[in-house]
């Protein structure tokens, strides 16, 4: 474990609890699946990304890393091996640094995630950067759940899209909950979007759904400081996909409650974790892999063709560099 992680582990729970609590929104309910859980142990395979910042091509660095076509190829390869795969993102991945019209880009990025078959994408604070009109268009286009339990639509005062979604695999129910960093939202929207206190909101959401699900996964764009302490106040969370700090946690952090994973930034990595549960849905073991998307991962031809037809402009040309390195 790095010194940086050790320091972060030492952050007092009081940092979280000292935040002023606001009223929490009613989560957007997803209809409960009705099938009977399959008896016996089970495994949940999760592919995860975060902080993509709209990058669609490999970075302008040496070696060139990332790109949606490589990511799509890796996702396809795992689906060829595993019958049920969840694909999720922890936020700041629907915004764009690319130089085409805002509304068009909102549509194209959401369609790109549709092409890769994402199940859920959390909203990060910077996803509000291009304006609510663009974000609403992305949500309309999305075939995946767009999650943020603690942001409210200023027009309706309801949860901006969905607080959580429930995905069923082989009779087991998996809850995916989104959380968004309040400070960034308030800054980029100039206070237009109300953001509730995330820890209290998560507690309320988990209390509402815990009896109806077998596994709880949080897509958190709060940063490690919050994530490492969530188990102290919300013990029923099984895994946190952590965004905002743009770190790569490999192997996953497991010594402070729920499994915590993160896959860097700019789409240069994609992580995989296989969570193994016993018959009572207790997490007993896990396997993990972090895939760096170098040219060893060949482009998915269908994704590359779709990208050419959509007129995507390489965002990587605007800002060279790489994301964080592997944490020991």
Domain ranges of the chain: 40-327
CA proximity to 150, closest of 188, 122, 190, 118: 122
pLDDT, residue 231, reads 76
d(Cα 189, Cα 102) in Å, to the nearest integer?
16
pLDDT at 97: 59
CB 292 within 8 A of CB 268: yes
**Residue located via tokens 């890796």:** 74
The partner residues of 261 in beta bridges, in order of sequence, read: 241
Task: Evaluate whether 98 touches 67 at the Cβ level (below 8 Å).
Answer: no
The pLDDT assigned to 102 comes to 54
pLDDT at 106: 67
Q: Give the pair of three-digit tokens for residue 196.
A: 């509730």
Task: Lay out the sheet containing 120-122: strands in order across.
Answer: 145-147, 120-122, 85-89, 42-49, 269-277, 283-292
3-state secondary structure of 258: coil
Please provide the DSSP assignment of 28-82 as one string: PPPPPP-SPPPSS-EEEEEEEE---TT--S--SSSS----HHHHHHHHHHHHHH-
Q: Which of 224, 223, 151, 228 is nearest to 182 (CA)?
A: 151
Residues 6+ apart with CB under 8 A from 282: none
Give ∠ CA 326-246-287 in degrees, rounded to 5.
50
- 183 secondary structure, DSSP code: H
d(CA 227, CA 292): 24
Beta bridge partners of 168: 173
**If we measure between CA atoms, which residue out of 87, 98, 96 comes closest to residue 53?**
96
Neighbours of 47 (CB within 10 A): 26
Beta bridge pairs of residue 120: 88, 145
Q: How many CA atoms lie within 13 A of 214 on its CB side?
A: 28
Contact by Cβ (8 Å): 147, 177: yes
Q: How confident is the model at residue 37, as a pLDDT?
A: 55
Check residue 180 and give its pLDDT. 98
Whole-number Cα distances in Å, 230 to 140, 280, 309:
31, 22, 43
- b/e 162-191 (16+ beta carbons within 10 angstroms → b): bbbbbbbbeebbbbbbbbbbbebbbebbee
Q: What is the pLDDT along the chain (328 residues), one digit of tens a residue?
A: 433 333 333 333 333 333 333 444 444 444 444 445 567 899 999 999 999 998 888 988 889 999 999 999 999 999 999 999 999 999 999 987 554 445 566 678 899 999 999 999 999 999 998 889 889 988 999 999 999 999 999 989 999 999 999 999 989 999 999 999 999 999 999 999 999 999 999 999 999 999 999 999 999 999 998 998 887 888 899 999 999 999 999 999 997 689 999 999 999 999 999 999 999 999 999 999 999 999 999 999 999 999 988 877 544 443 444 444 444 3
CATH architecture of the region 40-327: 4-Layer Sandwich (3.60)
């Amino acid at each position: 474990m790095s010194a940086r992680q050790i320091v972060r582990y030492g952050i007092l729970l009081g940092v979280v609890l000292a935040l002023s609590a606001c009223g929490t929104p009613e989560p957007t309910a997803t209809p409960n699946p009705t099938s009977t859980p399959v008896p016996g142990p089970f495994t949940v395979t999760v592919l995860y990304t975060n902080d993509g910042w709209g990058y669609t091509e490999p970075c302008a660095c040496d070696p060139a890393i990332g790109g949606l076509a490589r990511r799509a190829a890796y996702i396809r390869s795992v689906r060829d091996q595993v019958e049920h795969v969840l694909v999720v993102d922890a936020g700041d991945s629907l915004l764009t640094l690319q130089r085409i019209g805002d509304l068009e880009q909102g549509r194209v990025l959401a369609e790109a995630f549709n092409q890769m078959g994402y199940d859920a994408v959390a909203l990060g604070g910077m996803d509000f950067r291009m304006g609510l009109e663009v974000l609403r268009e992305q949500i309309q286009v999305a075939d995946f759940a767009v999650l943020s339990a603690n942001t409210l639509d200023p027009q309706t005062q309801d949860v901006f899209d969905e607080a959580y979604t429930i995905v069923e695999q082989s009779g087991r129910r998996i809850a995916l909950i989104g959380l968004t960093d309040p400070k960034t939202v308030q800054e980029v929207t100039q206070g237009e979007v109300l953001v509730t206190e995330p820890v209290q909101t998560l507690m309320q959401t988990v209390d509402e759904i815990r009896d109806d699900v077998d596994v709880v996964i949080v897509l958190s764009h709060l940063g490690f400081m919050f994530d490492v302490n969530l188990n102290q106040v919300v013990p029923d969370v099984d895994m946190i996909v952590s965004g905002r700090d743009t770190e790569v946690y490999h192997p996953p952090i497991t010594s402070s409650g729920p499994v915590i994973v993160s896959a860097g930034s700019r789409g240069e990595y994609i992580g995989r974790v296989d969570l193994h549960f016993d018959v009572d849905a207790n997490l007993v073991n896990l396997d993990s892999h972090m895939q760096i998307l170098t040219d060893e991962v060949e482009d998915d031809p269908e994704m590359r063709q779709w990208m050419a037809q959509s007129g995507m402009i390489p965002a990587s040309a605007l800002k060279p560099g790489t994301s964080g390195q592997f944490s020991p």
